[in-house]
Chains A and B, each alone.
Chain A
């Protein structure tokens, strides 16, 4: 009888699709960086600037597919973690925005938001593990 095959298949598919999406992202980023210096028209600059986002869109698609294949508890936990991570990101980025105007902290790029949210997502996951809301994988028998 199979042992944990459902979960392993789910994880393998997700890893494969996500890795593929990031490979596309990396490739398109290199292409865009190589070609950008030669672009003169606004439309060309705009297209090349957004070209790597095709890979990012594929990553969103891979995450969406993984969520659709996940079981009910995985979906519930994914939803809780992302909601808390999004709320923490709002708190941090909005608070920093006020500090930019209030005490003159340096203006940050929009690129900062995603890493902040990623970090919040990791921290919320770790808090869930520490509180025993999610079991460490090696504790299963």
Chain B
């Protein structure tokens, strides 16, 4: 699934590790979502949307 997670993270000036800690996941998971190798579960997608104060559909594209 296409997403804008890398761009959003870079806007905040966070590393993958820093974002991972806020989402309580591993860096590998953040990396896999950014490189579109893994689609997050709905609860994790919600956590991401709350963290970036954006709608899920603005972060993830079907």
- Chain B's interface: helix, strand, loop or mixed, by majority? helix
Instruction: Count residues of chain B with CB under 8 A from any CB of chain A.
Output: 20
Q: Is the CB of B40 within 8 A of A72?
A: yes
A3 (CB) vs chain B CBs: closest residue:
B17
Contact of A42 with B by CB under 8 A: no
Complex: how many Å from CA A137 to CA B30?
12
Instruction: Count residues of chain A with CB under 8 A from any CB of chain B.
Output: 21
Q: Is the CB of B25 within 8 A of A141?
A: no
Q: Is the CB of B16 within 8 A of A73?
A: no
Contact of B56 with A by CB under 8 A: no
Complex: how many Å from CA A3 to CA B20?
8
A4 contact from B20, B38, B41, B44, Cβ within 8 A: B20
Instruction: Point out residues on B near A: beta carbons under 8 Å.
Output: 14-18, 20-21, 24-29, 31-32, 37-38, 40-41, 44
Instruction: Point out residues on A near B: beta carbons under 8 Å.
Output: 1-7, 10, 70-74, 132-135, 137, 139-141
